Structure formats: structure tokens, C-alpha cells
Amino acid sequence: MTNVSFDNILINFGFGLKEEKKEILKQNPEKLIFMDLTCFDPAEFYAEFPQLKGSFAALFCDEEKKIEVHLRDKNQAFLDKMKELGFITLETTIVSCGFIFPRTIVQIINEAYFALEEEVASKEDINRAMKFGVNYPKGPFEWSQGKEKFAMALLNELYQKTQDKRYLAASLLKKAAV
């Protein structure tokens, strides 16, 4: 995982496991921390770690580097640093597992894997259909390339929180995540 530290602020990028994220928070009780929690419920982390001042979702960031950010306390230094790093921050007041965009895109990725399992179309055709059919900048397999285990982590977290079967992962996604 990558950390950016300045003044008394630590920005944690990376998509580690929940335990790894919590360990970073435990090791830095004196810092103001902003953390990528794309795959987890920020509310759970906020309740346990008062030094966590904000969370963001950068896992499925596109070329424009737009990311959703939730701030417990407005921190201009953090926002300025993110801008300096090339990110466009979209502030949200919604605190939920997967934020908004990642929660949506992971479902599209999962459905694409179901379509592939059912031999509806090839990966290339599914990617092309999403790019040209609904004007997405990437197809679902392009979004998930190299991020399958994190897509699985988010789906698993959503399923554990909701017990909603729509968050159960496609078998091919499970295989790709290994």
C-alpha cells in the first residue's frame, strides 16, 4: 500500500484487506488520516478510529482520476494535496459500503462475468457493447483488469452487509480473483 504523508496528515492509497487498513490506523493514532475504503464500509472504520477524518474510493478511478470523497471534517490541506496528485475529488455526504460509483461498476463487472459464463458473448464483445452501447469509457473487463480480487472483496462486503443475493459473485469472477 502506498502512503502520502505531510504535516500531520497521512493519505493511504491502496486496496488492502480490512485488517491491513485497520493496522495502518492503529499504528498512526496521532495523525489525521484519509484512506481509500472503496471495498469497505467507512462508517465501520469511523466508529473505531477517531483519527480517520475522511475516506475515498479510487479503486475504479478512470483516466480523469475522478474519485468520491467523504469527509468527516472539511480539510482543505487534504483536498489540495489530492488536487496536486492529479485527482478530481467529488465530495459525497453518503457513507456506504462501496460508495456510489464502485458499487455500481462492480455490479456491472459481475453481470459481465455472468454473461461470459452463460456464453452470451466474448469478453471483447461485452467490452465493446458497454463502450459503444452505453458510452462507458471502458468495458467491464477493462475496468476489472487486475482488480478482480478487489471487486470480489467489495461484492463480499456488500453481501455480508445486506444478505442480498444480487451481490453473490459469478464463478468466473471468483476464478479470475485468485
| pLDDT computed for residue 60 by the predictor | 83
Tens digits of per-residue pLDDT, 121-147? 999 999 999 999 999 889 999 999 999
Domain residues of the chain, as ranges?
2-91, 103-176
Provide the 10 A C-beta neighbour count for residue 36: 22
pLDDT of 5 above 90: no
DSSP lists the bridge partners of residue 35 as 12, 55
Phi, psi torsion values for 151, nearest 5 degrees: -60, -40
| pLDDT computed for residue 153 by the predictor | 92
Looking at domain 103-176, which of 1.10.1040.50, 1.10.10.1100, 3.30.300.30, 1.25.60.10 is its CATH number?
1.10.1040.50
Measured distance CA(96)–CA(103) in Å, rounded: 9
pTM listed for this prediction: 0.88
Tens digits of per-residue pLDDT, 77-136? 999 999 999 999 999 998 899 999 999 999 999 999 999 999 999 999 999 999 999 998
| pLDDT computed for residue 87 by the predictor | 95
